[in-house]
Structure 1
Amino acid sequence: MAAKKFEKLPVQNSPPGKEFVFRTHDGREVGRAKNVPEFAALLKTVPLDSVLYHANGGHFAPWLDFMGRRLTAVKIRGVKGGNENVRKDLVRLFE
């Protein structure tokens, strides 16, 4: 039996100022998510530079953990790389 990929938990918004801010490697803001569904949607649309910056920097897992998505945080820590496959692997975690 295959394990569930994504934790199906109630949607809750982050407190003000604790949103996940997608940035490019040079610090430009390209998206902001206040909850996990918004985060998952933005993974599909923000520039690849931002996805790679955060994935390789280990920025996603602490926020997901803070949002109560511990299993997803553990899984996302292992997703790293330098091409569009990183985005695809991340998006799959939320399907």
Structure 2
Amino acid sequence: MKKLYYSMGEVSKLTGLEPHVLRNWEKTYSELRPKKNSAGNRVYKESELALIFRIKELLHDKKYSTEGVQEILTNGEPKKKQSDLSAEAQKDLSEIRVFLNDLLERL
């Protein structure tokens, strides 16, 4: 059976994040608002746990800034456009495209 709520200690163990980091993220990201139980302890829903893992991925793995993470949480992940690439990268991709088209014609 799936658990309905997780304590801060459980979330900390599952995510590898210290409790002070979780509390700080509550202040930083308005989407993360765990409820408090009758004893005043934070309890996290499954969706909040998933959000914590997402924020951690964006900050730690993808190296987004706090502002960048907030932008993604608000508006969704930005799509890379070819125009976002440097001129050198665009040139390289263009040359690769020509090479692959030539290769395809030979097959």
**Is TM more than 0.5 here?**
no
State TM-score, norm by structure 2: 0.23
Q: Which has the higher contact order (CA 8 A, sep 6+)?
A: 1
Q: Which has the larger radius of gyration?
A: 2
State TM-score, norm by structure 1: 0.25
